[in-house]
Amino acid sequence: MTYYQKLGFTFGEPWDGFYAIGKRDGLELHLKEAPRNPAEREWRREQEHLDAAGGVDGIDVFYEQCLANGVTVLRPLAATDWGTKDFYVEDPDGHIISFGGRP
């Protein structure tokens, strides 16, 4: 949760210590503690296989906030073929999340 708070999400109390919902600008991010498998995490990272994706209003500002807060960016903000912009981040547990939105 601490990591995602750096991205601007706010959280209530986790349920049973393993499930939490973060909110930011109408986006909900559901977090659940999961077993860690280093080999699977590495494969997903190499393949740019996403664990989650979210749409964000003001993608340019959100991206700059992520950079300013030291977020690990795997793929920088770039235009997509469908008229949006997106970027990929990696959280401390190796999960890869894409954030995208209209500029």
For the chain, which residues make up each domain, given as ranges?
Answer: 2-101
**3-state DSSP assignment of residue 53:** strand
The count of other CB atoms within 10 Å of the CB of residue 102 is 12
**Predicted local confidence at residue 34, as pLDDT:** 65
For residue 74, the Cα-to-chain-centroid distance in whole angstroms is 11
Which residue would you say has higher pLDDT here, 71 or 30?
71
Range 88-92 average pLDDT: 90
Query: Which of 90, 98, 95 minimizes the C-alpha distance to 35?
Result: 95
CATH architecture assigned to 2-101? Roll (3.10)
d(CA 98, CA 90): 9
pLDDT recorded at residue 96: 86
Distance of alpha carbon 53 from alpha carbon 60, whole angstroms: 16
**For the segment 47-59, what is each residue's pLDDT rounded down to a tens digit?**
777 778 788 889 9
